[in-house]
Amino acid sequence: MGVLNVTPDSFSDGGRFLAADAAVAHGRRLIDEGADWVDVGGESTRPGAEPVPVEEELRRVVPVVEALAAGGVQVSVDTRKPEVAEAAVAAGARMINDVSASLAPVAAATGAAFVAMHMRGDPRTMQHEPTYDDVVVEVRDALVASADAATAAGVDEVWIDPGIGFGKTLAHNLDLLANLDVLVATGYPVLVGTSRKSSLGRLLARADRSDALPPPGDRLAGSVATAAWAYHQGAAMVRAHEVAATVRAAEVVAASVRAGDREEQSWHR
């Protein structure tokens, strides 16, 4: 899933694709690089972000969704607002990617697929000392509750996502990544978004023996490493800004996993 933020303030690509024609061109580029989906968002959800009024989010998102979908691109809409989700699906989006996990009724009513992501609180406050007793179990249980409710409401295709960086410390994010197989075992397809996030910045600074976090555009090694790890753990999709490198890494991991499967088969023979 390639990321396309039509915003002035997203943490890594804010302002780059605010003009609709630049956004559409970038969305097509993500598909050319190997993305299956383009995830169009009109409101940043980075820590501390201020909410965007519905009219403004519609103005940013709908023309871009319409142009991409008309060109045959599979579009998901990254929104927390029912009005935006409805309008985006009417414009051709086929998936609602909802960091608040509250839009299942819209997905059910429109026939769109649905991503239920885990978040503690909301973006303005979510990084104020998040605490969990057992982050993996609590996130899994919350996601299964959201996904089961979406299924019961009539959504055909439901995905779950641990929400890396959404109300989680570095230790929580690492615990979730280390135990992605626990989410995979729920039977719901798992989406993971680590791309360029500040947890990676901190790990990369450690690798560089530096106190300074590399800027979001200089976190590719961490993004690709965690995408490969996620696929190896059984995730079905990753959300990435740098699609070409991610697809290449995913192909290599897939080949290794297939080879591993063969070995297991011959072992059993």
Stretch in the footprint of ligand HH2 (CB under 6 A) among 28-36, 40-48, 133-141, 170-178: 40-48
Q: Quote the CA–CA distance of 57 and 231 in Å, as a whole number.
A: 32
Alpha-carbon torsion (2, 6, 11, 15), positive or negative: positive
Residue nearest to ligand HH2 (CB): 193
Q: Which of 201, 203, 168 is CA-nearest to residue 47?
A: 168
Do 190 and 238 form a contact (C-beta atoms < 8 A)?
no
Q: Which residues 206-235 are close enough to bind ligand HH2 by CB under 6 A?
A: none
User: Which listed residue (27, 40, 44, 219) binds ligand HH2 by CB under 6 A?
Assistant: 44
Q: Is 11 in the site for ligand HH2 (CB under 6 A)?
A: yes
Q: Which of 60, 53, 54, 55 is CA-nearest to residue 8?
A: 60
User: Which listed residue (239, 242, 243, 250) binds ligand HH2 by CB under 6 A?
Assistant: 239
Closer by beta carbon to ligand HH2, 94 or else 261: 94
Q: Quote the CA–CA distance of 38 and 31 in Å, as a whole number.
A: 7
95-98: strand order across its sheet: 2-5, 38-41, 75-78, 95-98, 113-117, 158-161
Catalytic annotation present for 239 = yes
Site string for ligand HH2, 111-150 (x = CB under 6 A): ----x-x---------------------------------
Residue of 219, 239, 262, 269 with catalytic role: 239
Catalytic annotation present for 197 = yes
Least distance to ligand HH2, CB of residue 261, Å: 28
